[in-house]
Amino acid sequence: MSTARPSFTELVDWLDGRLATEAAEDVASYVAVGDPATLESVEWILEFVSGAASMPLQQRPPELGLRLRGVFDQLHRPRQGRDWSDAALLHDTRSQVGVAGVRSLGDGGVHLAFDSELGRFVLDATASGVGEVDVQGLVMLPSGVGGLDLAFLERGDLRRAVRSTPDGRFDARGVPVGVDELWLTSGPTRVRALLDLRS
Amino acid sequence: MVTDSDLLIRCRRRDSDAWNQLVSRYERLVYTVALRNGLSAEDAADVTQATFVALIDALDRLRDDEKLASWLMTVARRQAWRSRNLSRRTTSLDNTPEESSDPFADWATTTALHDALSTLGGTCRDLLLALYFEPETPSYAEIAERFGRSIGGIGPLRGRCLDKLRVIMGEEA
């Protein structure tokens, strides 16, 4: 039996079955003696291999990679180009003017309804802190569209970004009350809505 | 080596290249977490996008830039739960899957492992991911070609990388 303590690399190779027979027998003999430092290394390696094997990394769909890389510019880039359209305000609880059937908030919050190229959408803004509101909303997306990305901006700077659920719901917490613009993006379709969230 | 912290600082300055590097580093991890939480490929892709949008939203509020891996994994997991609950509400009872057990028996260890890999960074991180985290373990010959090294050099490098990772995990424990 070898009396030399195996190196960490030798232990890794031994556990992986990559050592020649004689070298493997030497390492096995040393481990069998029970040297605490060696046993600790063996235990760590086995735990690492087990932990890694418990969650192998899957390849994402190619188009997802493009979306993920594009979303950063999409949420920050100043509004430009001809592929934007403006949302039309249908109802604002503060003005008391709007289409029938749109409810009002009784707690001093803001309820807004818009029509847009992406479909109608509504949002409720309720005070959540000094100078902040929580915004919850719903975009009536056609089926199969999937989620969309929303950006809340204040004087052109991104303040909050969220992705809606596939059924169009979104929830943005702690939105600065000074936010004055909302962008909604779904694929190539981009919509801009002017906002006033002050009660 | 460009660290996560370096990339996050650049992202806060609206640097798209830094963002692309972060996405390359973590898109598979986030997508895998979503898949492992019982989502379809389509829903997992949506949750992955929601998670990266949440990162853009949180860029100025992250508590610890060094723990980005576990932050992304945790957000992805929450988003996946939300997506699953939403799906249950819109699925007929006959088609509702049984409640599955938690796919991560030791979530804290899994996230700590990925944070340590991030700290390790560079070639070592990439090598260990290729050797131990690929669904179909590539051969040493494939790994050697991918990393531009000799086949005989992979084993010793692997050992050194694992030893460094062990030190990092020991320090962070």
Q: What's this model's pTM, rounded to 2 decimal places? A: 0.89
Joined together, the tokens standing for residue B85 give: 């609950």
Is the torsion defined by CA of A83, A89, A90, A92 positive or negative?
A: positive
pLDDT computed for residue B103 by the predictor:
57
| Pairwise CB contact (< 8 Å): B53 & A75 | yes
Phi-psi region of B98 (alpha: psi -120 to 50; beta: other; left: phi over 0): beta
* Chain A residues closer than 8 Å to B90 by CB: 167
The pLDDT value recorded for residue B96 is: 46
Low-confidence ranges of chain B (pLDDT < 70): 88-105
Q: Do B155 and A8 touch (CB under 8 A)?
A: no
Q: Measured between beta carbons, which residues in chain A are less than 8 angstroms from residue B163?
A: 8-9
Q: Give residue for tokens 């028996």.
A: B105
Q: Does B96 touch chain A if contact means CB atoms closer than 8 Å?
A: no
Confidence at residue B91, expressed as pLDDT on a 0 to 100 scale: 55
Calculate how close chain B gets to A72, using CA atoms only, in Å.
Answer: 7
- Are the beta carbons of B22 and B7 closer than 8 angstroms? yes
Examine the predicted complex and report whether its ipTM is higher than 0.90: no
Report chain A's C-alpha Rg in angstroms: 29
- The three-state (H, E, C) secondary structure of chain A, written as one string: CCCCCCCHHHHHHHHCCCCCHHHHHHHHHHHHHCCHHHHHHHHHHHHHHHHHHCCCCCCCCHHHHHHHHHHHHHHHCCCCCCCEEECEEEEECCCCECCCCCCCCCCCCEEEEEECCCCCEEEEEEEEECCEEEEEEEECCCCCCCCCEEEEEECCEEEEEEECCCCCEEEEEEEECCCCEEEEEECCEEEEEECCCCC
| Residue A96, pLDDT score | 63
Nearest chain A Cα distance for residue B148, angstroms: 21
Amino acid at A44: W
Mean pLDDT, chain B, rounded, equals 90
CB A157, CB A165: distance < 8 Å:
no
- In sequence order, the β-bridge partners of residue A126 are A134
Chain A residues with beta carbon closer than 8 angstroms to that of B49: 64, 67-68, 71, 147, 149, 163
Tokens representing A64 are 């997802």
Is A149 at the interface with chain B, CB within 8 A? yes
Per-block mean pLDDT, blocks of 10 residues, chain A (199 long): 82 94 94 92 95 92 95 82 86 69 59 94 93 95 83 95 93 96 92 92
**Mind telling me how many Å the CA of A123 is from chain B's nearest CA?**
19
Whether B83 and chain A come into contact, CB under 8 Å, resolves to yes
Distance CA B165, CA B168 (A): 5
* Residue B8 tokens, joined: 């996050």
Cross-chain residue pair A9–B36, CB shorter than 8 Å = no
- Using DSSP's 3-state secondary structure scheme, residue B98 falls into coil
A143 touches chain B (CB under 8 A): no
For residue A80, what pLDDT is reported?
62
Q: How far is A7 from chain B (nearest CA, A)?
A: 9
A31 to each of A20, A21, B163, how far by Cα in Å? 16, 15, 18
Answer for the pair A38, A66: CB distance below 8 angstroms, yes or no: no
Q: Is A136 exposed, middle or buried, given 0-12, 13-18 or 19+ CB atoms closer than 10 A?
A: middle
pLDDT, residue A100, reads 46
Q: A162 vs B36: CB contact, 8 Å cut-off?
A: no
Q: What is the largest CA-CA distance in chain A?
A: 91
- Nearest-by-Cβ selection for A56 from B43, B56, B134: B134
Span A184-196, pLDDT tens digits:
999 888 999 999 9
